[in-house]
Amino acid sequence: MNRSFSPPQSGADVPPFDLHAFVRQVFPYPRSITGDGVRATIRAIAEHVPVTIVEVPSGIPVLDWTVPDEWNIRSATISKLSGEVLVDFRGNTLHVVGYSEPVHRIVSREELAQHVHTLQDQPDVIPYRTGYYARDWGFCLSHNHWMTMNDDAYRVTIDSSRGPGSLTYGELFLPGSTPDEILISVHVCHPSLANDNLSGIAVATALAVREMTRAERRLGVRFLFLPATIGAITWLARNEEQTSQIRAGLVLTCVGDEGAFHYKQSRSGSTIDQAVAHVLGHAGVPFEILPFSPYGYDERQYGSPGFDLPIGCFMRSVHGTFPEYHTSLDNCEFVKAKALDESYRMVAQVLDLLQGNICFRRVDGRGEPQLGRRGLYRAIAGQREGGGSTQSDLLWFLNLADGRHSVLDIAERSRIPFSRIQHAAYRAYEANLVVMEDP
């Protein structure tokens, strides 16, 4: 069936809003796997795109898990008995272990030590710790700060609540002309971590704005903003039937630092792996392709047995390998505006590639077509044509446009950038030399 075919998408260059300003805006929100900090973050996303906010009640079974109780925190301090505040949650949300039980009492330093987390090898930074499924409480301090606290007793206050509520996530689906779709997923549960958490949220939100302005979408695009692990598991449990429509996807995290790009392949091995490698390979940037492993972010949930979705993880520096990871050093200064914008451009190119990765078939595949009478021939072989393609690009495309090779297959076989083969496909299509194959 010969459907309409628009010119290749362009403009994967400037983000639609200031990504670094967005990171700074939402950095202070007290995020966890549930609670008002997550809702505030998703409302900030909703200022840019019409994301749907979904609430799933506590106690609902989701696969082998259960939606947990909701946790919220209002304040937390450690004070001297004289009243001097030494540690204040309002100064940095990392100071309190996530899901800490409420505490209002005086404790000895010896007892407090059982609830204090520091990093002796990084004595000036605050670590990030959580206790989602424990009934406990705790504080995170720099080791040097803790070493100055030598009083016999301290007043400890954590004003938090934990009980029946809901798990919150945001979802935006932009339908395409086919039932198939791309999934972009980011986690929204980490407090005061700019690269690990907020860089992916900022880039995904900007991509959603861009996708909303796309003239035509062949593939639908679904954006998920959810708490790590339990959020992805909850979404999968609630949407199992439609996961068969997901043809490619990315989990975005740690995309705001100045490290080289890293891509962890999907479990299944799929077009998304080929697409990301192609974009990075032709971008002139340092990068590394990593094999799939069942450790990391939500790509391991989407790639779990029974789903095995073609979803990889797109990063700059790899989680756990840089000293700022899960510490107070992962702040707004660590994340760079230029790095965020570059990550946005890379993923935008991947989305363009997936949208344009169509199979074509020659109308008459016998022999090389006569290009001169169609205005496609140039006397100087290899001369760059209008629209960004060359004579060689066109010949490669026409030779492999047999209904079995996609545009990406042809780009990889010819070692020519996807965008140039796509331009050649458009010119051949306009000249009625090829038709699109049904997906």
Residue range 198-226, pLDDT digits in tens: 999 999 999 999 999 998 899 999 999 99
Q: Please give the single-letter amino acid code of residue 182.
A: I
Judge if 133 and 246 occupy the same domain.
Answer: no
Higher-pLDDT residue of 102, 380: 102
Judge if 252 and 106 occupy the same domain.
Answer: no
127 vs 220: CA distance, rounded Å: 39
pLDDT for 375 beyond 60: yes
Any binding-site annotation on 115? Answer: no
Dihedrals phi, psi of 143, to nearest 5 degrees: -60, -40
Domain carrying residue 119: 71-163
CATH number, domain with residue 410: 1.10.10.10
Q: In terms of Cα–Cα distance, which of 14, 3, 7 is closest to 422?
A: 7
Q: Is 53 left (phi over 0), alpha (psi -120 to 50) or beta?
A: beta
pLDDT for 380 beyond 50: no
The residue out of 128, 144, 163 marking a domain boundary is: 163
pLDDT band at 367 (very low <50, low <70, confident <90, very high): confident
Residue range 288-320, pLDDT digits in tens: 999 999 999 999 999 999 999 999 999 999 999
pLDDT score at 6: 62
CATH number, domain with residue 126: 3.50.30.90
pLDDT for 389 beyond 70: no
Q: Is 248 left (phi over 0), alpha (psi -120 to 50) or beta?
A: beta
Length of the chain as a residue count: 439
Mean pLDDT, residues 375-393: 59
In a domain, 49, yes or no: yes
Name 242's bridge partners. none
66 vs 57: CA distance, rounded Å: 10
Q: State the DSSP code for 198.
A: I
Q: pTM for the complete prediction?
A: 0.94
Judge if 99 and 141 occupy the same domain.
Answer: yes
Any binding-site annotation on 88? Answer: no
134: CB partners within 8 A, 6+ apart: 99
SS3 category, 402: strand
Judge if 295 and 228 occupy the same domain.
Answer: yes
What H or E segment, with its residue span, contains residue 288? strand 287-290
Q: In terms of Cα–Cα distance, which of 362, 388, 57, 358 is closest to 178?
A: 358
Name 76's bridge partners. 158
Pairing of strands 246-252, 311-315: parallel
Higher-pLDDT residue of 401, 392: 401
Any binding-site annotation on 190? Answer: yes
pLDDT band at 2 (very low <50, low <70, confident <90, very high): very low
The structural domain count of the chain equals: 3
pLDDT score at 291: 96
Name 290's bridge partners. 264
66 vs 236: CA distance, rounded Å: 13
Residue range 73-113, pLDDT digits in tens: 999 999 999 999 999 999 999 999 999 999 999 999 999 99
Percent pLDDT > 90 in the chain is 86
For the CA atoms of 274, 277, 281, 282, the dihedral, rounded to the nearest 10 degrees, stands at 60
308 vs 293: CA distance, rounded Å: 13
pLDDT score at 95: 98
pLDDT score at 3: 54
